[in-house]
Amino acid sequence: MKTGPVINTNNPMEIQPMGPNPDWAPNIDPQMLAVIEQFMAFENPKVSEISPFQFRNAKLPVEAVMALLTKTGIEASKPKVDISHKILPVGPEEGILVRIYKPVSANSQEQNLPVIVYYHGGGWVIADLNTYEPSAIALSDLTNAIVVSVAYRLGPEHVFPAAHDDSYAAYKWVVENAAELGSDPNNIATAGESAGGNLAVAVPLMAKEQGLKMPVHILAIYPIADGDVQSPTYDQYEKAVPLNRGLMKWFFNKYVPDWETKEEPLVNLIDADLSQLPPTTIINAEIDPLQYEGGELAEKLKEAGIDVKREVFSGVTHEFFGMAAVLEQAVEAQKMAAERLKESFNDK
């Protein structure tokens, strides 16, 4: 049985891997490789051997980070947010659960805080609010904003456009009920990672179509922006961990069964009408099949006249953004995201 890297340090930023750099990532950052080694030590079944239900109960990269922190004997940073939950009376019959993060620095009676509607990743098939909680906490803390994290329905039980419809319904509720949250209806942003990065862009497109107030900013972290699994970085990182071509095809098959024969602008964002969107920030990982389409999306936004800033963080893989406890690149990416969001908030 694999055990993952052995840590002999009290400094998470000095975590080092056990083995050499893999062939699929010869320039991987040592801290990132230590996370990947720990993740691979969990020995999850191959995607071809696992069902969505089983996948949801397997270990994910966030748990590799926590395992490494445990080995250091160092506790993760304490959240500087208050956490609550609410079931929004929208969407499916049972409503939509959201988890709300509010900065502890904000007075309990303080109103008009900015709000970020956040969508977790997982290919629209796996993961949940817990998986991506480090990102939601960081965004709330660094921007002094309320973060509303949305538990949208997942495929294959609920195929396209279920996740998109739930995400839009939650955003619409926040726009129309901002006062109930203590937030400013004129200072709302969308944000998300991977499949959630797709939703962070798709929801404003839906809002534009429906005539609903647009967000003031979009934060799309390694977004799924195209259905082309033959792109240059899909080829380059075909065997990457934790995300690769085989896993992305599995995700598409479970959530968008006709993805190979039918174009869906809300999935293939680069084919959508991107005009009139707000300022957008795109964050990509270098060692990620989705890197190329992040660049394509940025170029399409520029062509549409949108204020867009994109950065590719070197040496790291998909899922790095929430790993600030062990990755310097995640710290920098979170700072960049927060600065861009606050610029849009301050403009209002």
> Catalytic amino acids?
194, 288, 318
Quick check: 317 and 242 in contact, CB under 8 A?
Answer: yes
* Tokens coding 260: 């190979």
Q: Is 204 left (phi over 0), alpha (psi -120 to 50) or beta?
A: alpha
DSSP collapsed to 3 states, 141-200: HHHCCEEEEECCCCCCCCCCCHHHHHHHHHHHHHHHCHHHHCEEEEEEEEEEECHHHHHH
Quick check: 4 and 67 in contact, CB under 8 A?
Answer: yes
Quick check: 113 and 182 in contact, CB under 8 A?
Answer: yes
* Tokens coding 243: 């995300």
67 CB-near residues (< 8 Å, 6+ apart): 4, 38
Alpha carbon distance 183, 153 (integer Å): 25
Amino acid at 244: N
Alpha carbon distance 57, 43 (integer Å): 13
Give the up-direction half-sphere exposure of residue 96: CA atoms within 13 A in the CB hemisphere.
28
Quick check: 338 and 139 in contact, CB under 8 A?
Answer: yes
Alpha carbon distance 68, 5 (integer Å): 8
258 CB-near residues (< 8 Å, 6+ apart): none
